[in-house]
Amino acid sequence: MRPNGKRTTEEFEAAGGTRAIMKQLEGLLKLNAKTITGRTVGENLEGVKVADEEMIRPVSRPLSRRPSINIVRGSLVPDSAIVKLAVIDDRPLQFKGPAVVFDNERVALEWLNGGKIKEGDVVVLRGLGLKGGPGFGHASGFVFALDGSGLTGKVAVITDGHASGLVNKTLLAVEATPEAAEGGPLALVENGDTISIDVEKKVTDLLVPEAVLAERRKNLIKSPERKEIGWMSIYRRTVRPLHEGAVLIEP
């Protein structure tokens, strides 16, 4: 659907909406699971019809057999990062290039507007994670700006922030953990470092010798102690990484 396709939300609803999707996935669902209606999933799907099988296709006839949500790991993202692809997508699934590092989106946009981000670069946008934000920073604006600059598919982006589910432009790895504010490898990246992203192999690596990274880790400047009190203080002290649920637990 728009903005990633030509069909509209109204057409999706006319085809049967969410229940029609569930009907097409019926063979993969736990039909005896109870729902908030008091009935089971299977009971709720009785009699549901799919009015347009071009809009909501059957499992046997998908738009693509390639997964659109990919979990990658590697030396740059030991815990994980997410690469989301458009369903109909012919972009390259491998990308290797020099890092261009930014600690906030504003400076990244200034560089982009000044023509300083070039084809082949891997943009590292850090400091947007749960703890570094604080709260989850959004990288969508920068990605759309890249698209407006004609760099979609020519530049890769990796960030510890997140992006809208509608952002399927360029090769984008989001929610990188451990985040930079936790001292993860993202915090050690410097301009010019080579980063390799291979979505098919589910690997994202920082191609820098471990001895060099160890030296950088020793020299890593710790963020100054914040003076917040109350809820913000509790949040910063207790928030857990996204892959652990982003819950607040005393370490």
Active-site amino acid positions:
164
Q: Which residue, chain included where needed, has tokens 């890593």?
A: 220
Q: Are 125 and 161 in contact (CB under 8 A)?
A: yes
Please give the C-alpha separations between residue 112 and each of 87, 161, 193, 218, in angstroms, as whole numbers.
Answer: 28, 18, 19, 31
Helix residue ranges per DSSP H, the chain = 9-14, 17-24, 41-44, 105-113, 140-148, 210-219, 231-238
Q: Are 24 and 50 in contact (CB under 8 A)?
A: yes
Token digits of residue 62: 């998908």
**For residues 159 and 105, what is the distance between their CA atoms, to the nearest angstrom?**
10
CB atoms within 10 A of CB 224: 6
Q: CB within 8 A of 158, min separation 6: which ones? A: 76, 77, 81, 122, 123, 124, 125, 172, 173, 174, 176, 186, 195, 197, 204
First-residue to last-residue Cα distance in the chain: 43
